[in-house]
C-alpha cells in the first residue's frame, strides 16, 4: 500500500540530505506528503493512552472519548 506519508531513503548521508532538502525546498512535495491520509493513525495515540490511564487510576475525572 502506498499512502504517501513517508519515504524510505536509506542511510546514506548524501541521499538523506537530498531528500530532506527536497521536502524543505519544494512546497508541492511537502504539501503532498503533509496532507496524505495516514493509515497508521493520527499521531495522538500516546495522549489518548495517558488519558485512559489517568482515568483508570482516578487521576482524571472525565472519561476520555472512545477513539474511532
For the segment 1-40, what is each residue's pLDDT rounded down to a tens digit? 578 888 899 999 999 999 999 999 999 999 998 888 888 8
CA–CA gap between residue 42 and residue 35 (Å, rounded): 12
**pTM metric for this prediction:** 0.55
Give Cα separations from 65 to 31, 41, 51, 55, 68 (angstroms). 30, 16, 10, 11, 9
Amino acid at each position: 500500500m502506498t499512502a504517501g506519508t513517508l519515504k524510505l531513503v536509506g542511510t546514506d548521508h548524501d541521499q538523506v540530505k537530498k531528500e530532506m532538502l527536497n521536502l524543505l525546498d519544494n512546497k508541492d512535495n511537502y504539501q503532498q506528503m503533509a496532507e496524505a491520509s495516514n493509515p497508521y493513525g493520527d499521531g495522538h495515540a500516546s495522549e489518548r493512552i495517558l488519558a485512559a490511564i489517568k482515568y483508570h487510576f482516578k487521576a482524571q475525572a472525565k472519561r476520555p472519548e472512545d477513539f474511532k
